[in-house]
């Protein structure tokens, strides 16, 4: 489930960039702890797939 962050929420575990208010984030649980990560990480958004040449985050290549 994704939503817009109302407050700064630490750092994203996927890209290690800070999560700031206004960004789209999603939550996941690690045991009893809720964590937050970017829906689309800013550092990985422009990475291209070496197989198809498309955007890596949208690619279905293995």
Helix, strand, or coil here: 38? Answer: strand
pTM of the prediction?
A: 0.60
Percent of the chain scoring above 70 in pLDDT = 87
Output the pLDDT for position 6: 92
Output the pLDDT for position 48: 78
Strand partners for 4:
24
- Per-residue DSSP letters for 10-36? -B-TTT-PBP-TTSEEEEEEETTEEEE
Q: Report residues of the chain scoring pLDDT below 50.
A: none
Whole-number mean pLDDT of the chain?
Answer: 82
């Amino acid at each position: 489930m994704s939503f817009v962050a109302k407050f700064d929420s630490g750092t994203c575990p996927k890209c290690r960039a800070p999560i700031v208010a206004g960004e789209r984030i999603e939550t996941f649980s690690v045991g009893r702890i809720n964590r937050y990560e970017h829906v689309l990480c800013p550092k990985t958004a422009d990475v291209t797939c070496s197989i198809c040449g498309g955007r890596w985050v949208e690619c279905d290549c293995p």
